[in-house]
Structure 1
Amino acid sequence: MALTIVEAFRGPQESNIRFPDGMIAPLSSFVYNGTFYISDGISRDGYDALVNTMKDRIAREQDKSPDERPVVFSVQGSGSYAWTGRGGAAFYAFKDGKTVSFVTRSDDRNSASTTALEVLTNLQPRAVGEVPAEPGVCLPGVFVRTSQVDKTRIVGVSYRLKRHPDVLIFFRDTKVQKYAPRLTSRQENEFVWTSAFGVGKSVKLHGAFPWRTVKLDGREGVGSLATITRRDDATDYGYLVTVQGDADATVDTPDLLLYVVRNAAAANGKTPVSEDEIEEIGREVAASIKRR
């Protein structure tokens, strides 16, 4: 599973979510009422040093005007540290070996502070494969316990198979905003192949009528299989499923996207999977996805 790289906790990075071998995961996003940074590459001592660096920075800014001066909150949790400043609020937390940073942006400092503290209070560690019994939002290694309606949610996680490191599986759950363009499942599928992901020089969909009915979470969507020509002229294969969400539904009905793609260059000496295997993996994963 791709996580935030350590360097991103110290400053902006061009590609801040990567796999352990350095392969980037540009599609991943950990957004729930703000942006999360999640890493398992920082020791507890490293985490404490990170917090101390922020404490020093905030201490140096105490001579600013009240509107710009950072304010530190009293919070529960071993080593957790939260503050607000001009433009938003943030916190650091260490959960079962994972360093978590959260930033929420807002010109309303009180609103940002409320959001950050609510997320921190309800943040708890989550083991790999653990399905929490309470309502909330799952992110890599952590869980935000909540039954409230979220303002924003774009949780997209990238995985690679241990047996087949050339296979990348990306799944994204996006809360539908009323102001956002409403694309049908097919329109979203076409947009992703032609514009959104920038997968290579060209994409050739399979079949005279490539759009197939596929279900995710019991909802009907559109699936397609494609041959991808990379920018270096290498050939790969991808399987894509998109499901249209509904901003007007009485229950949370998000946009869903599943993308299973071969990257033969990342096979690490193993035989890359075939196009049929990519489709088979994609169908198996799609069949397993359901809201819990």
Structure 2
Amino acid sequence: MTKRRHMAIFCRCLQALLALSVIGCHAREVPESWKTDCVGRMQLSLPGDAEIAANSVKMLEAEYRVGSTQPRFEFADGEIAGWSAQHYMGRLFVSHQLMKRDISTLDRAASKYVEQSRKWAVRTKVSSSGEKLAFEMLRVEPHKGIGSRVSAAYTVSLFIEDRLIRLSSSGRDMTWAEQGKELNMFLTGVVARPFGSIPNKPGVCLPYFFVTDDGKPQRSIGMTYRLRDHPDVSVWLEDASALKGGDDRIEAKLEPRAKSDFFWSNYRTSDRILLRSEWRTPYRDISLAGTRGVESFVKIVRKDGTADYGYLAAGRGNPDEKGDTPDLMLYVIQDARIAKDKGVEPLGKDALLDIAQRIAASVKRRATAVQQTLD
């Protein structure tokens, strides 16, 4: 064997050892005491109890009146969770816990919306594509609530326990027969789900709800948590069906580094004066729940001079695989102001990074009884 070949083998072995050492440095064990919750078809673990961002009564009442392209998710105290969004069979809205008067308010708003839809369909008669508009009241059993459709577009508002869940679909590129099948699956599969409840059936986890399904509906579900023991820390996980890139230009935008660049460049630009990497290189390669991804860790200086820290992990799924390999994004970001307002000491930089990387290590596909039987 030549000296050159010996050197080549040595270099390959050294590269492999370095790669393993990097993975080992980034890996973090997840304490058994942590609480586990689920997002979409995935799950993650958190250090203690957490609040989940949802929609307020005020926002939902306005949504019934005027509609919105960006419905606001927030915590119970009004703190906004700007990256939360629920897309699954259509656009989803989920309320915070409702009082009796809140239920009455939203029930009236939902009924007025249905009546306005009926009047619009009768008045308009024909869609822009020349299709005759058909209005129909929909049954929502076994739940309490109301629903209607205009041709293939529909909206259902369900009051389950002490919350509202609303599903609205435009019906684009689908017939009512196709939409009706999905709606029936939603109506028969949706149940209330408290924080920390991990169903073992195929389906998707939403804030405070779970929907059993056949594994086929596309989804893009982003949920935001705020840690009760560390109120300065918010955690967001997005589980989305892997998008097809189409051409090289679009595929490049779906790459983990490109998505991370987009996130940090748009993160609260009006509230910061500085955002810079805390690492010598801005990105490190990782595996996020089996997807090819990157992680980043930054310092964020707010306009009031407060220095916070943020962690982001992004993974690219494979839309061409037979099984579901999703596009994933996770952030763990600090806002010390919130903790100080509650009389709690904010986390230090090293503690935040440690928690963030442990949360990233905990992200995985939620196990189901069907999968366990196949295994």
TM over 0.5: yes
Equivalent position of 2:20 in the other structure = none
Task: Give the C-alpha shift of residue 122 in structure 1.
Answer: 1.7
Aligned AA (1:210): P
Distance (whole Å) between structure 2 residues aligned to residue 228 and residue 273 of structure 1: 14
Aligned AA (1:228): I
Q: 1:193 aligns with which of 257, 264, 271?
A: 264
Equivalent position of 1:161 in the other structure = 227
Equivalent position of 2:326 in the other structure = 254
Aligned AA (1:178): K
Q: 1:178 aligns with which of 223, 244, 248?
A: 244
Equivalent position of 1:115 in the other structure = 182
Would you say 1:41 and 2:97 are equivalent positions?
yes
Task: Give the C-alpha shift of residue 238 in structure 1.
Answer: 0.4
Would you say 1:125 and 2:181 are equivalent positions?
no
Task: Give the C-alpha shift of residue 205 in structure 1.
Answer: 0.6
Distance (whole Å) between structure 2 residues aligned to residue 257 and residue 139 of structure 1: 16
Distance (whole Å) between structure 1 residues aligned to residue 313 and residue 323 of structure 2: 22
Secondary structure of 2:318's aligned partner: coil
1:3-42 aligned at under 5 Å gives the runs 3-12=54-63, 16-42=72-98
Q: Which moved more, 1:202-211 or 1:256-265?
A: 202-211
Aligned AA (2:356): G
Please tell me whether the aligned partners of residues 291 and 317 of structure 2 are also in contact (alpha carbons under 8 angstroms).
Answer: no
Q: Which moved more, 1:62-71 or 1:244-253?
A: 62-71
Percent of residue pairs identical: 27
Cα distance change of structure 1 residues 179 and 70 upon mapping to structure 2, 3 Å threshold = farther
Equivalent position of 1:98 in the other structure = 163
Higher RCO structure (Cα 8 Å, ≥6 apart): 2
Cα distance change of structure 1 residues 196 and 162 upon mapping to structure 2, 3 Å threshold = closer
Please tell me whether the aligned partners of residues 291 and 315 of structure 2 are also in contact (alpha carbons under 8 angstroms).
Answer: yes
* Larger Rg belongs to: 2
Cα RMSD after superposing both structures? 2.5
Per-residue CA shift, 1:148-188, capped at 9, x if unaligned?
4223x211111111111111111111212225732322332
Please tell me whether the aligned partners of residues 245 and 254 of structure 1 are also in contact (alpha carbons under 8 angstroms).
Answer: yes
Would you say 1:203 and 2:275 are equivalent positions?
yes
Per-residue CA shift, 1:165-221, capped at 9, x if unaligned?
111111111212225732322332233222466473332112222322333223342
Equivalent position of 2:123 in the other structure = 64
Q: 1:85 aligns with which of 137, 150, 169?
A: 150
Aligned AA (1:189): S
Per-residue CA shift, 1:77-98, capped at 9, x if unaligned?
2313221126721101122322
Specify every segment of 5 or more residues in structure 1 that has no aligned partner in the other structure, as ranges: none
TM-score (norm 1): 0.89
Secondary structure of 1:227's aligned partner: strand
Distance (whole Å) between structure 1 residues aligned to residue 230 and residue 351 of structure 2: 11
Please tell me whether the aligned partners of residues 84 and 112 of structure 1 are also in contact (alpha carbons under 8 angstroms).
Answer: no
Equivalent position of 1:285 in the other structure = 359
Cα distance change of structure 1 residues 23 and 59 upon mapping to structure 2, 3 Å threshold = closer
Task: Give the C-alpha shift of residue 248 in structure 1.
Answer: 1.0
Q: 2:316 aligns with which of 244, 249, 271?
A: 244
Equivalent position of 1:74 in the other structure = 139
Equivalent position of 1:271 in the other structure = 345
Distance (whole Å) between structure 1 residues aligned to residue 105 and residue 357 of structure 2: 45
Would you say 1:144 and 2:211 are equivalent positions?
yes
Cα distance change of structure 1 residues 114 and 45 upon mapping to structure 2, 3 Å threshold = farther
Task: Give the C-alpha shift of residue 284 in structure 1.
Answer: 1.2
Secondary structure of 1:287's aligned partner: helix
Equivalent position of 2:44 in the other structure = none
Distance (whole Å) between structure 2 residues aligned to residue 147 and residue 114 of structure 1: 12
Specify every segment of 5 or more residues in structure 2 that has no aligned partner in the other structure, as ranges: 1-51, 126-131, 367-375
Cα distance change of structure 1 residues 246 and 53 upon mapping to structure 2, 3 Å threshold = same
Please tell me whether the aligned partners of residues 158 and 164 of structure 2 are also in contact (alpha carbons under 8 angstroms).
Answer: yes
Distance (whole Å) between structure 1 residues aligned to residue 230 and residue 151 of structure 2: 46
Secondary structure of 2:62's aligned partner: coil
Task: Give the C-alpha shift of residue 25 in structure 1.
Answer: 0.4
Distance (whole Å) between structure 1 residues aligned to residue 208 and residue 286 of structure 2: 29
Secondary structure of 2:144's aligned partner: coil
Q: Which has the higher helix share?
A: 2
TM-score (norm 2): 0.70
